[in-house]
Amino acid sequence: MAATSPVSPISHQLLSRSSSRFWNNAMTPRFCSPVFSISPCLIGVAGIGSASQLRARHPLISSAATTDYLLHDVGATVAVLGGAYALVLSFESLTKRNVIPQSLSRKLVHILSGLLFVISWPIFSESTLARYFAAFVPLVNCSRLVINGLSVSPDSTLIKSVTREGRPEELLKGPLFYVLALLVSVLFFWRDSPTGMISLAMMCGGDGIADIMGRKFGSEKIPYNPRKSWAGSISMFIFGFFISIGLLYYYSSLGYLQMKWETTFARVAMISMVATVVESLPITDQLDDNVSVPLATILAAFVSFGY
C-alpha cells in the first residue's frame, strides 16, 4: 500500500514493521504521530535497513524507540485505569438515581469491565513489556478490592456497584477472583493467543448474561442444579460463543491472530459448551464461578488451540 504521506516509502514499510501494529492499521500512517511512531520515522529517515539493524547501529534510535514505547504504554495504562474507574462510577450513579436496579448494575459491570479490558489491549504498544503495563490495570483493581474488602478505607462507590448485599467482605470473593482472571489472561495469554480472550468472553460475557437471562426467564430449572436454569445456561452458551468469535475476529483483523476459520467455529462451540456445563454444576459454594469458568475455558481452549 503506497504511503500517502510525507513519510518516505521506506519509513512506511518500517512503520508497518516496527511501530505499534494497532496504530499502523488504525491510522494508516499519514503522518508520524508525535507519540506513537516517531522512532520508525527516525529510522526511515536514517535510511535503508531493518529496524532492528538500524537500532543496533544507532543507540540513539534504540533509546528513542524505547522511550517511544514507554510513553505509549504509560499513556495506555493511565487511559485504561481511568476507564475502569469511570465505568464503576457511572453504574453507581445510575443505581443511585434508580435508573437501573443494583443487581442489573452489578451484572453490567461484570459483563463490560472484562470485555472492554480485552478490547483495549491493542492500544498498548508492540513492546514485549506492553502486557505488563496492561497487567498493571487488574493489579491496581485487585489492590482496590482487597483494601476495600478488608475495610481499610471503604470506597462506597465500589462496594455499592460490585457487591450483592453491600457488605465490603463480598469484594474478596467473586469480584477479586474476576479481576485475578483478567490478570492471568494478560500475563499468560495476552493478545496473540485465543485462550485468554475466550476465557474472558465466557466469564464476563457468557456468565454475566446467564445471570440476567436466568433471573428473568429461568423458570425451567436444571435437574442436577435447581439454582441454575436452562434459560441461563443456553444464554451463556450462545452469548459466550458469539462474543468469543467476535473477539477472535477483532484480533485477527488487527493482525494479532491467524485463525483457521473452517475449524475455529467448531472449536469455540466445544469450548463454550465445556464452560457452560461447568458453570451449571452445583459447585458454586465450593468454587466460585469466576474461578471454575475461566479455568475450565482455559483448559479446553489450550487443548483445542494449543496456545
Residues in touch with ligand CDP (CB under 6 A): 174, 207, 210-211, 214-215, 218, 227-229, 232-233, 236, 279-280, 284, 289
- CA nearest to 259, candidates 250, 238, 17, 299: 250
Cβ proximity to ligand LRRJ3J73: between 44 and 114 the closer is 114
CA distance 244 to 291: 18
The distance of closest approach from Cβ of residue 209 to ligand LRRJ3J73 in the complex, given in angstroms and rounded to an integer, is: 12
Burial code of 247-258, b = ≥16 C-beta within 10 A, e = fewer?
bbebbeebebbe
Q: Is 289 near ligand LRRJ3J73 (CB under 6 A)?
A: yes
The distance of closest approach from Cβ of residue 234 to ligand CDP in the complex, given in angstroms and rounded to an integer, is: 8
CB neighbour list of residue 51: distance below 8 Å, 6 or more residues apart: 14, 17, 18, 40, 43, 65
Q: Is 206 near ligand LRRJ3J73 (CB under 6 A)?
A: no
Residue that is written with C-alpha cell 479446553 in the block = 300
Q: Is 80 near ligand LRRJ3J73 (CB under 6 A)?
A: yes
- Beta carbons of 76 and 83 less than 8 angstroms apart: no
Residue 162's binding partner among ligand LRRJ3J73, ligand CDP, none (Cβ under 5 to 8 angstroms by kind) is: ligand LRRJ3J73
Residue 214's binding partner among ligand CDP, ligand LRRJ3J73, none (Cβ under 5 to 8 angstroms by kind) is: ligand CDP
Residue 148's binding partner among ligand LRRJ3J73, ligand CDP, none (Cβ under 5 to 8 angstroms by kind) is: none
Contacts of range 262-268, beta carbons closer than 8 Å, 24 or more positions apart: 267/301, 267/304, 267/305, 268/198, 268/241, 268/244
Residue 227's binding partner among ligand LRRJ3J73, ligand CDP, none (Cβ under 5 to 8 angstroms by kind) is: ligand CDP
**Helix (H, G, I), strand (E, B), or coil: what is residue 21?**
helix
Q: Is 106 near ligand LRRJ3J73 (CB under 6 A)?
A: yes
Selected from 51, 84, 181, 186, the binder of ligand LRRJ3J73 by CB under 6 A is 84
State residue 228 phi and psi, 5-degree precision: -120, 160
Interface positions with ligand LRRJ3J73 (CB under 6 A) = 80, 83-84, 87-88, 106, 109-110, 113, 116-117, 120, 137-138, 141, 162, 174-175, 178-179, 182, 289-290
